[in-house]
Amino acid sequence: MVKKRYIVMGVSGCGKSLIGSLLAKRLGLAFFDGDDFHPPENVAKMRQGIPLNDQDRYGWLQTLNDLINREEGMVLACSALKPQYRQQLRQGNDAQLIYLKGGVETIWARHSCREGHYFNGREMLESQFRELIEPKVGEAIEVSIDQSAERVLDDVLAALAQSERADK
């Protein structure tokens, strides 16, 4: 694989952490979860069920951009909901975006099974759907999450292989 940096994106609960870590393992790359880099103020806000805004996300995205640029090979899980966030993350690198696409009901059902996470409430998830501006055709590899995690991973790998063939 030519591109060695990957950003797995989508709303909270779409499977970024699970699929991202499986992908990293398969490719022999380091995995980082964007959640682990939020400043305490952001975590406190989300615990209260208050969605983050552009200002809250700015410093966090800068930290993640530094991380991407520092690591030669890596997979990062990050919501990257808006084009400006994706641009900020990809400043100085050509990380490949992988968009995990799914509907609110599927994702909320998966959320409800997840324990011990600070992300708080369906309203916050709905706010992520309102904020999401999906990547344009060609900006990202897009994979449906309405299938098992193994199949999602297979689709991601197949799409990456296809995009690499097209790049040659």
Ligand X SMILES: O=C(O)[C@H](O)[C@@H](O)[C@H](O)[C@H](O)COP(=O)(O)O
Beta bridge partners of 46: none
Task: Using alpha carbons, select from 121, 28, 38 the residue that is nearest to residue 75.
Answer: 28
13 binds ligand X (CB under 6 A): yes
From CA 80, how far away is CA 84, in angstroms rounded?
9
Site for ligand ADP in 68-97 (CB under 6 A): 77
Cα four-point dihedral sign 103, 113, 14, 116: positive
Residue among 81 and 145 whose Cβ is closer to ligand X: 81
Q: Which amino acid is at 37?
A: F
Residue among 18 and 43 whose Cβ is closer to ligand ADP: 18
Residue ranges that bind ligand ADP, judged by CB under 6 A: 12-18, 77, 110, 113-114, 145, 148-149, 152
Task: Give contact residues for ligand X (rule: CB under 6 A).
Answer: 12-13, 16-17, 34-35, 38, 46, 52, 57, 79, 81, 119
